[in-house]
Amino acid sequence: MMEDKGPPGLSPLLNGRLGALADYPFPRLTALLSGVAPLANVEPVVMSIGEPQHAPPALLDQALRDNAHLWGKYPPVAGTPDFRAAVAGWLSRRYALPDGFIEADRMVLPLAGTREGLFLLAQLAVPEEKGGRRPAVLIPNPFYAVYQGAAVLAGADAIFLPAVKETGWLPDLDAVDDSTWARTALFYLCTPANPQGAVADLAYLKRALSLARRFGFVLAVDECYAEIWDKAPPPGALEAAKALGGLNPTANLLVFHSLSKRSGAAGLRSGFVAGDPNLIQAFGRMRNYALAGNPLPALAASAALWRDEAHVEENRRLYREKIDAAEAALGGRFGFYRPAGGFFLWLDVGDGEEAAKKLWQHGAIRVLPGAYLTQPEPSGINRSQPFVRVALVHDTDTVSRTLERMARILA
């Protein structure tokens, strides 16, 4: 549980809730490594950040140029009918949804990357109180830092659900008591999970959505890694909605998708939120006040990307190749396992911070201590302290050589 107290030095005129947030993971890493000189005469390899490095497809550039005459126009916050249709078409194909299940104009909104939508959602979904108590936002632990920022700044209690090896790297839904569910306003779920790479199966998603309906909260499923998978395409929460059925089959559900990973286009800042039409309508209303809307050329390019699968398949092949290389370099060590989705390794190196320092000093390799992605438990224990997160985003050869070096340094 977070308390609303600012850090020393935070002006009382500022939003004191900011003080309840841990520093963002990357400045923490910079601080950790600030006194450590990296190995000289070697090009540093930054594996701390999940920034795709594959060149985005040529059709992105082409679509931006074809639509360059639209840069002068203010874009509608709800995007264009063409963008929404492209998204609805992709969702329907990807998750085998029946015709008409996704009503493009009522159930889809563009986002400038999922990040802004995931943040803004807490402003929308957290009421003043729930059942007479302070509302809670449930967050898997470890987690994408934005979930916590969103929850705390919206005035909710952030409640962290361990997503560790013993729970299959996903939150254990049975470990949450009814009293907690009853005051839950919002539950962020990430599948494939960052950093652990675990994928929620359809039964899990159905159960999470049933709980959302029973206890009246919003289930926000962050599926931004959905297209980077190893053996099988991860199921989506919209499939769970289809399976559960009902008058409004997407009731209580929002899913978030992005072109940042799928198309290697993080700089385009393009994603979308889709699901419950009532929530989408309210989201659009809030977005009108809060955000700027995606530029029209970017929306046109995004629509072209959502309609193309060839570049996504190639992207996936390249990530799989890197995971093969990682398995060859590390298999059997540091608790290595092939992530079912996403492009991170979650390695047990004994002490994440020590390993990060050692790898920087002796190998010019930058990795992120797992503890920086994880809230300590009330007992003070941080169960990710032994871990580091390693992003497999460089070319396969670099990944292979760097991981071999990493294994030697940590041996």
Ligand X SMILES: Cc1ncc(COP(=O)(O)O)c(C=O)c1O
Instruction: Find the binder of ligand X among 121, 190, 218, 329 (CB under 6 A).
Output: 190
Residues 232-291 that bind ligand X (CB under 6 A): 258, 260, 266, 271
Tokens of 271: 């994603």
Length of the chain: 411
Q: Which stretch binds ligand X (CB under 6 A): 108-116, 131-139, 316-324, 383-391?
A: 108-116
Q: Which of 56, 79, 113, 249 is the binder for ligand X (CB under 6 A)?
A: 113
Task: Name which position in 83, 144, 346, 372 contacts ligand X (CB under 6 A).
Answer: 144
- Note whether 67 binds ligand X by CB under 6 A: no
Question: Which parts of 214-243 interact with ligand X (CB under 6 A)?
Answer: 222, 224
Indicate whether 194 belongs to the interface with ligand X (CB under 6 A).
yes
374 lies in the binding site for ligand X (CB under 6 A): no
Please list, in sequence order, all residues whose beta carbon lies within 8 angstroms of the beta carbon of residue 1, skipping any fewer than 6 positions away: 157, 158, 159
Q: Are 400 and 328 in contact (CB under 8 A)?
A: yes
Residues numbered 345 to 364 that lie near ligand X (CB under 6 A) are none
C-alpha to C-alpha distances, 100 to 92, 104, 221, nearest whole angstrom: 9, 9, 21
User: CB of 194: closest distance to ligand X in angstroms?
Assistant: 4
Q: How far is the CB of 172 from ligand X (least distance, A)?
A: 19
Closest residue to ligand X, judged by C-beta, is 113
What is the nearest approach in angstroms of ligand X to the Cβ of residue 146? 7
Stretch that binds ligand X, among 112-120, 125-133, 200-208, 290-298 (CB under 6 A): 112-120
Measured distance CA(316)–CA(400) in Å, rounded:
17
How many residues bind ligand X (CB under 6 A)? The answer is 13
Q: Which token pair is 376?
A: 């300590």
**387 φ/ψ angles, rounded to the nearest 5 degrees:** -105, 155
How far, in Å, CA of 391 to CA of 402, rounded? 12
C-alpha span between 385 and 376 (Å, rounded):
9
Distances (CA, A) of 135 to 117, 122, 150, 321: 20, 11, 13, 44
Q: Which parts of this chain interact with ligand X (CB under 6 A)?
A: 50, 113-115, 144, 190, 194, 222, 224, 258, 260, 266, 271
